[in-house]
Amino acid sequence: MPVPSNWFESFFHGVTLDLWRKAIPPEQTTAEAEFLIDHLNCDAGARVLDVPCGNGRLSFELAQRGLRVTGVDISEEFIEEARAIQNQSGPPATPTSRDSDSSTRVEFLLRDMRYLEDQAVYDGAYCFGNSFAFLEHAEMEKFLRAIARALKPGARFIIETGMAAESVLPDFEEQSSHELGDLALTIKERYLAEESCIDSEYIFERDGQTESRLAREWIYTVAEIRRMLENAGFSILDLYGSLKCKPYKLGSQELFIVSEAR
Ligand SMILES: C[S@@+](CC[C@H](N)C(=O)[O-])C[C@H]1O[C@@H](n2cnc3c(N)ncnc32)[C@H](O)[C@@H]1O
C-alpha cells in the first residue's frame, strides 16, 4: 500500500502515542536531558527549541535545569498533554518535572516543524526521539534552514537519531514483534533501495482490537546529514554513537550530532 508523503500528519495520535510513552523509560529521558545540558552550551535562562517535542518529556527536564524551552509539535494530543502537565492537571505521564517555577519556563506550540518562522531568537535547539527521518530530502533541507534561521549565531543544534543508514541497514529486519505492557506491536518494513526509504506498517493489538498505521522514514548516511547541516548553515562540532559519547561507527544504534549555527 503506498504511504502518503504527509503520513506524519495523521500517524501521531491514539495508540502510537501510547507506544511512545511506553517505549521511553524515565531514566532515559533523564540521561538525554543531562546530555543536552552538557552539549547545548547554554546558560540558565537561555531559550531553547525542542522540535518536535512530543508530550514535552525533555522540555520539562530542561526547564527544571533552568532553561526556557519552547516545544513545537504537530500532534494535537501530545501538545494538549504537555500543556495539561504544565498546568499540573494532566495524567501522570512520563515527564517528572512539575514544580511551579519550571512550568513557567516552558511553552508548547501546535505547529508543523516544516514551517518554523522564528528569526535568531533561540540559544539552542534539538531534535530528539528518533524524529530525524520523517522528511524527504528537499523538506529536510527546508527544515534545517528554518532551524538555522531560528538560532542566534553560535547557538548549537543537536540531533539524535536511530535512523542513519549506518545504524539501520546492517541489521535491517523486514518484520519484528514487540510487547509493551498490554500492547503487542508487529512492524513490517520494506526498504525501497531506489528511494533510500523504509515503508513500514505498524500493527497494534490490544484488548482483542487490531489497528494498523503506515509510515515512511527517509534514510540518510551520516555524510549526507553532515552535508545537509553544513549547507543549511551549521558547522559540525561532534559526532557520537551513544549518550556516553562513544564514537559513532557502523552498527551504532544511535547517532548524536552536535552542530553550531554559523
Ligand atoms: C517519536 S515522537 C518523539 C517526540 C519527542 N521528540 C521525544 O523525544 O519525546 C515524534 C514526534 O514528532 C512529531 N512530528 C512528526 N512530524 C512532525 C512535523 N512535521 N512537525 C511537528 N511535529 C512533528 C510527532 O507528532 C511526534 O510527537
Ligand 1: does its nearest atom lie under 6 Å from the Cβ of 56?
Answer: no
Instruction: Assess if residue 51 is contained within a domain.
Output: yes
Ligand 1: does its nearest atom lie under 6 Å from the Cβ of 74?
Answer: yes
How many Å lie between the centroid of ligand 1 and the Cα of residue 53? 6
Residue spans of beta strands (DSSP E) within the chain: 47-50, 68-73, 106-110, 122-127, 151-161, 175-180, 183-192, 197-206, 209-218, 234-240, 255-261
By DSSP bridging, strand 151-161 and strand 255-261 are: antiparallel
Ligand 1: does its nearest atom lie under 6 Å from the Cβ of 52?
Answer: yes
Instruction: Read off the CATH number of the domain in which 63 is found.
Output: 3.40.50.150
Instruction: Assess if residue 3 is contained within a domain.
Output: no
Instruction: Read off the CATH number of the domain in which 198 is found.
Output: 2.20.25
Ligand 1: does its nearest atom lie under 6 Å from the Cβ of 16?
Answer: no
At 33 the three-state DSSP class reads helix
Protein residue whose Cα sits closest to atom 26 of ligand 1: 54
**Where would I find the H helices in 41-160?**
57-64, 76-86, 100-103, 137-150
Instruction: Assess if residue 256 is contained within a domain.
Output: yes
- Closest atom of ligand 1 to 114 CA is 19
Indicate whether 173 and 66 sit together in one domain.
Answer: no
Indicate whether 110 and 200 sit together in one domain.
Answer: no
How many Å lie between the centroid of ligand 1 and the Cα of residue 141? 17
Indicate whether 194 and 84 sit together in one domain.
Answer: no
Beta bridge partners of 236: 259
pLDDT at 93: 45
Torsion (CA) 252, 7, 79, 102 in degrees, nearest 10? 20
Indicate whether 54 and 122 sit together in one domain.
Answer: yes
Contact predicate 243/256, CB 8 Å: yes
Q: How far is CA 145 from the centre of its chain?
A: 17
Contact predicate 197/217, CB 8 Å: yes
How many Å lie between the centroid of ligand 1 and the Cα of residue 176? 22
Instruction: Assess if residue 110 is contained within a domain.
Output: yes
Beta bridge partners of 211: 204
Question: What is the reported pTM?
Answer: 0.95
Instruction: Assess if residue 97 is contained within a domain.
Output: yes
Indicate whether 208 and 102 sit together in one domain.
Answer: no
pLDDT tens for the 262 residues of the chain, in order: 789 999 999 999 999 999 999 999 999 999 999 999 999 999 999 999 999 999 999 999 999 999 999 999 999 999 999 999 999 744 444 455 445 678 889 999 999 999 999 999 999 999 999 999 999 999 999 999 999 999 999 999 999 999 999 999 999 999 999 999 999 999 999 999 999 999 999 999 999 999 999 999 999 999 999 999 999 999 999 999 999 999 999 999 999 999 999 9
How many Å lie between the centroid of ligand 1 and the Cα of residue 74? 7
Indicate whether 80 and 175 sit together in one domain.
Answer: no
Ligand 1: does its nearest atom lie under 6 Å from the Cβ of 142?
Answer: no
pLDDT at 182: 93
Indicate whether 37 and 64 sit together in one domain.
Answer: yes
Ligand 1: does its nearest atom lie under 6 Å from the Cβ of 65?
Answer: no
Instruction: Assess if residue 85 is contained within a domain.
Output: yes
Most ligand 1 atoms within 8 A of CB, residue of 3, 76, 131, 157 to mutate: 131
Instruction: Assess if residue 251 is contained within a domain.
Output: yes
Q: How many domains, in total, are found in the chain?
A: 2
Instruction: Assess if residue 118 is contained within a domain.
Output: yes
Q: Which amino acid is at 73?
A: D
Cell of 57: 518529556
Indicate whether 126 and 191 sit together in one domain.
Answer: no
pLDDT at 99: 58
pLDDT at 101: 77
Q: What is the 3-state secondary structure (H, E, C) of 192-229?
A: ECCCCEEEEEEEEEECCEEEEEEEEEECCCHHHHHHHH
Indicate whether 129 and 236 sit together in one domain.
Answer: yes
pLDDT at 95: 52
Indicate whether 134 and 256 sit together in one domain.
Answer: yes
Indicate whether 141 and 208 sit together in one domain.
Answer: no
| Domain residue limits at 173 | 167-217
Indicate whether 95 and 206 sit together in one domain.
Answer: no
